Amino acid sequence: MFLLTLLFFIQKFGESSQNVVKPNIVMVMSDAFDGRLSFDPGSKVVQLPYINYLRELGSTFLNAYTNSPICCPSRAAMWSGQFVHLTQSWNNYKCLDANSTTWMDVLQRSGYRTKMLGKLDYTSGSHSVSNRVEAWTRDVQFLLRQEGRPVSQLVGNMSTVRIMEKDWDNTDKAAQWIHQTAARLNEPFALYLGLNLPHPYNTESLGPTAGGSTFRSSPYWLSKVSSELVSVPKWLPMAAMHPVDFYSTYTKNCSSEFTEEEVKSIRTFYYAMCAEADAMLGQVISALRETGLLDNTVVIFTADHGELAMEHRQFYKMSMFEGSSHVPLLVTGPGVKSGLQVHQPVSLVDLYPTVLEIAGIPAVGYLSGNSILPFIYKARHFSKNDHPEWVLSEYHGCNANASTYMLRVGHWKYIAYADGRSVPPQLFNVTLDKDELHNVVLKFPDVRLQLDKLLRSIVDYPKVSAAVQLYNKREFTVWRESLGRNYTEVIANLRWHVDWQKDIPANQRAIDTWLQKTEWLKS
């Protein structure tokens, strides 16, 4: 009798241990969302009720960064869990292979029902010819002016809510999937929703290759912005700008004059676009609540990169300044601490191991990131010592004419370029200098040496820069030869270009230091 009873309990225990309910995972990834808006004081400038909801219910990372401030390389890092230089995701055309294993693939193989909707944008071959050619020709003696002048555009009226229709359509599909599929599942699920907002819209009047330089919204969303709190950022004089920043300003068509009203309008419209994205996040959260799934679902909100919105006389991303590189990261769900603000620097490569940790799946193979659960879980059996005190971001694409590497450690942000010698580095104390207007690299030579040594221990950045330059030359040459006699006409119409040597002021000739080394386009 005793043996029968023992066998009964062993059997029941085995069944219960196998039927442990794993949490569902929902990630909403926005595009170009300034992470500083997810906490005070930035959150006060615009009403973001659902981001605030996640912040109160869960944990907010105050120092979360992209691993590359542009769409495809950033998302490639997030999906693969590996740094950009390891996957060689150099620009918006060169990213992951189509058969690369993502964390969503791992979840699916481990019994999760998976669904991906909206903007994915992490495999090679996407984006326009213009975008890739601009990346390939970033360090030659002429430049292709990339963007239209940034403008704001008012549409609709106080009843106009759905402006980015494509995003709303995908959000509707996500909510529908939660109601009709997820609510009926016997297994855990993972849902990913990628949004385009608040990425600026294409400026259609300038043609198909003009890029996105229109900040568009309606009176309804503009009413969510506290206009009196919208700041006009300080700019350095053009002659005092770092040469790479100057190049970026010029190629983004921001070197001409802007009135304070123009700048404030662009920023106001950008914040209104963030409010619309927040509402989409809210629809997903509401669907989870309505189906009773929210209590057992980990919800993650983040973005691929930020948006400068006229900080540093630039819009778009492609920069290591906070507006471009700082992303939101909010997590809520079972076991996650409520109302917690985490100062630990983290980045998008940390999401891969985090998701696997949530699902109870051991990581296989090398990952660049580390799980962020030790900082936010109520359980005490995690060790915070496994996570480094630094984050790495790198950039190799268009609008910046040198490969760029950023290391954030404590209150320091160190930015190195190219081979580490031909382009001067930058060093900012982001605690004392929140506007990042004072490059103190010459004042703190010991800090520079220490951080450069740490950076080189993480990535051999001169070697990576050389590899990118060779890739750019090879890919451009192949493309040019494929056009034959049509090359001159195609590149002339790609976007209008200027003579770099003729149009750039004499006080910016320092840029020639590395421009003159790349004569291959003329051959």
Instruction: Point out the residues of the chain with pLDDT beneath 50.
Output: 1-19, 499-502, 504-523
Residue 211 confidence (pLDDT)? 74
Clarify whether residues 507 and 442 are in a common domain.
no
| C-alpha–C-alpha distance, residues 39 and 36, integer Å | 6
Instruction: Name the domain boundary from 374, 389, 404.
Output: 389
Catalytic residues: 71
Clarify whether residues 453 and 379 are in a common domain.
no
Over residues 33-49, the pLDDT tens digits come to 999 999 999 999 999 99
Count of CB atoms situated within 10 Å of the CB of 208: 9
Clarify whether residues 93 and 39 are in a common domain.
yes
Q: Are 439 and 418 in contact (CB under 8 A)?
A: no
The residues pairing with 330 across neighbouring beta strands, listed in sequence order, are 60, 301
Residue 522 in any domain: the answer is no
Residue 380 confidence (pLDDT)? 54
Instruction: Name the domain boundary from 364, 389, 414.
Output: 389
Residue 510 confidence (pLDDT)? 38
Clarify whether residues 103 and 232 are in a common domain.
yes
Which structural domain, as residue segments, surrounds residue 508? 462-516
Torsion region of 436: left, alpha or beta (phi above 0 gives left; psi -120 to 50 gives alpha): left
Instruction: Name the domain boundary from 460, 489, 505.
Output: 460
Amino acid at 7: L
| C-alpha–C-alpha distance, residues 203 and 207, integer Å | 7
346-347/390-395 β-pairing: unpaired
Clarify whether residues 437 and 467 are in a common domain.
no
Residue 139 confidence (pLDDT)? 76
Residue 484 confidence (pLDDT)? 94
Torsion region of 471: left, alpha or beta (phi above 0 gives left; psi -120 to 50 gives alpha): alpha
CATH code, 263: 3.40.720.10
Clarify whether residues 116 and 127 are in a common domain.
yes
Residue 4 confidence (pLDDT)? 46
The share of the chain scoring above pLDDT 90, in percent, equals 77
Residue 48 confidence (pLDDT)? 98
Give 75-112 as a 3 state SS string.
HHHHHHCCCHHHHCCCCCCCCECCCCCCHHHHHHHCCC
Residue 246 to residues 98, 341, 418, 427: CA-CA distances in angstroms?
Answer: 36, 35, 16, 17
Clarify whether residues 112 and 225 are in a common domain.
yes
Clarify whether residues 268 and 315 are in a common domain.
yes
Residue 491 confidence (pLDDT)? 81
CATH code, 442: 3.30.1120.10
